[in-house]
Structure 1
Amino acid sequence: MYSWRTAKRIIEIDAPIVMGILNLTPDSFSDGGSYGSVEAALYRVEEMISEGASIIDIGGESTRPGSKRITVEEEIARVVPVVRALAKRFDIPLSVDTSKAAVAQVAFDAGAEIINDISGLRWDPGLAELAARTGSGLVLMHSLGEFETLHSQPPVEDVVVEVMNGLRCSVKQALERGVSPDQLAMDIGIGFGKSPEQNLELIAKIDRLVNNFDGYPLLIGASRKSFIGKLLSENDPKKRVVGSIAVATIAAMNGAMILRVHDVKQTIDALKVVNAVKTFL
């Protein structure tokens, strides 16, 4: 059982839960441009909630290979109107997927309660100070390099050791800035600076990672990613659903507690089977 504290509530996690992805970018690798209006975003979130999502993760800046950084002002313009509208209509934890403290602050003022930082505080330590001040949930993801080089890093020799060491540094930085341990969740950063083989190795060894971060819920975000496409010989991300569900199932069986996904209903259905099987373990 994990009790993950956010700015508005405590999320009790005694079985794997789903974080539904809401991309507000025109250029995301899988669904860029699909939810560019507040109305479209509201409709999609209502759909994900009805399918069983426990958290909605809202992103305004694409991190696909080849993407370019956008300004704080542009990211705020994409994210904040949607966060405000969602917070007024739905009582569900809203996560803002950003590595900029200035964006997170305005999103929190609009109703967000979790920060999802792909840099693990490497780019903007002010995110930890914001989390400490607001009591927000904070997802720390392992990644290497700067924004423009996230997907072009040479593979490290031992990816499991690298991820554990990197996350330990992120946790240390967060705690030193006043974040409480119960505000933290870990993300091993599937697809960020790892080779396809290393992504598979991390998924295979999730139980080892869970044991090394006892007390922190582990988040896995592998949905529709390119290593799945490579395995399936499938270039269209929307046709990688079955492979994504396979990864989510393996992750959940081995201790991952938060699954960040595009395909909520299919993942929820798979989790029902996983949870039924785990009662006999």
Structure 2
Amino acid sequence: MIWKTRRISLDFNDKDLHEGVVMAILNATPDSFSDGGQHDDHSKAVAAGQQMISDGAKIIDIGGESTRPGAPSVSAEQEIFRTEPLVRALRAESEVLISIDTSKASVATAAINAGADIVNDVTGLTGDSAMVEVCAEAGVGVVVMHMQGTPRTMQQNPTYPNGVVTEVADFFKQRLDTLTAAGIDLENIILDPGIGFGKTLDQNLELLRNLGTLQRQLGRPLLLGVSRKSFIGKITGIENAAERDSATAALTAMACQQGILLHRVHHVPANLHAMQLAAAIQQV
């Protein structure tokens, strides 16, 4: 499968990508659940991004608004203030792929103008009526995520009468039809099942068991974002989110065994090593 972005296409049949691709999380926010406040100073954020690139990340995903459960929204102006200079600085120094994590069209536009290649939208391009047109016209790569509700409400008794795997698959099929009809190339779209976004612990685990099935059914690459999430703490007893990297890497390896080759993570080396080991096992 191929994922086209604004400048570069990633061909997952290419031997150079057989281990997969790390999308590193760079939150320029004061309140993200595991790294809030660490990168809200511009110079620190640029340095962190440079380190992620040095560690082997092929994509840097820059966010200016927390999407943790219960998180309050921020204005587009504040998001742009936090993210646009960071996108511009990293683009000036590197050819790495840059993703903007936003559901606001104006924020996406500012980031694209500064050099972003990808729009990562937790609402699946449903939160802002202008977002589809922005993405179609710019030819950016698009990450469509599934979320039941909003970050403020999503963990208030999420239910899936037809089963979480079936309903997530149906959502993606509808979004693919809608977005391609609106002018976004199918090969520009990848899908994120939204682990932890409007799902119970059991629903998260059900999705994790069926990642490979979902990817085969939908015919598009899946992006897995489980890094440091609270369900890991519920299972392992690790209360401090920043201490969940080894458990995250275990899930990364498990997903690689199902053919999932895109991983959005906080700690690049641990997850890259997990991907390398999983790929080596697959090749024997």
Which range, TM-score by smaller chain?
over 0.9
User: How far, CA to CA, are the matches of 2:87 and 2:126 in structure 1?
Assistant: 25
* Cα separation, 2, equivalents of 1:61 and 1:98: 7
| Alpha-carbon distance, 1:41 to partner | 1.3
Contact 1:151–1:193 (8 Å) recurs in 2: yes
8 A contact 1:145–1:153 mirrored in 2: no
Residue 4 of structure 1: how far off its partner (Å): 1.2
Does structure 2 conserve the Cα–Cα contact (< 8 Å) formed by 1:220 and 1:260? Answer: yes
Map 1:1-281 onto structure 2 (within 5 A): 2-14=1-13, 15=18, 16-157=20-161, 158-214=163-219, 216-280=220-284
Rounded to whole Å, the distance in 2 between the matches of 1:72 and 1:98 is 9
With the length of structure 2 as denominator, give the TM-score of the two structures. Answer: 0.95
Deviation at residue 30 of structure 1 after TM alignment: 0.3
Specify every segment of 5 or more residues in structure 2 that has no aligned partner in the other structure, as ranges: none
Q: Secondary structure at the match of 2:11?
A: strand
Q: Deviations over 1:152-179 (max 9, x none)?
A: 2422130000110111122122112100
Aligned equivalents of 2:134 and 2:69: distance in 1? 28
Task: Name the CA distance, whole Å, in 1 between partners of 2:121 and 2:174.
Answer: 14
> Which 4+ runs in 1 deviate beyond 3 A?
none
What CA deviation, in whole Å up to 9, does each residue of 1:69-102 have, x standing for no partner?
A: 0011011101101111111011101000000111
- Aligned AA (1:111): G
Indicate the larger mover: 152-161 or 132-141.
152-161
Give the conservation status (yes or no) of the 8 Å contact 1:99–1:121. Answer: yes
Preserved CA contact (<8 Å) 2:155 2:200 = no
How far apart, CA to CA, are the structure 2 residues paired with 1:146 and 1:194?
Answer: 12
Task: Extract unaligned runs of 5+ from structure 1.
Answer: none
Aligned-partner SS, 1:152:
coil
For residue 204 of structure 1, report the CA deviation from its aligned partner. 0.8
| 1:144/1:153 contact within 8 Å kept | no
Q: Name the % identity.
A: 40
Contact 1:38 1:85 in 2 (8 A): no
* Residues 59 and 99, structure 2, Cα contact 8 Å, conserved in 1: yes
Q: Give the match's secondary structure for 1:148.
A: coil
Deviations 1:23-68 (Å, cap 9, x if unpaired)? 1110000000001122111211111111111100000000111210
Calculate the TM-score normalised by the size of structure 1.
0.96
Letter in 2 for 1:101: A
Report the 3-state secondary structure (helix = DSSP H, G, I; strand = E; otherwise coil) of the residue aligned with 1:143.
coil
Letter in 2 for 1:131: C
In structure 2, what is the Cα distance between the partners aligned to 1:170 and 1:203?
Answer: 21
- The separation in 2 between residues aligned to 1:269 and 1:125, in whole angstroms, is 40
Amino acid aligned to 1:162: E
Indicate the SS of the match to 2:152.
helix
RMSD: 1.1
CA distance in 1, matches of 2:186, 2:112: 20
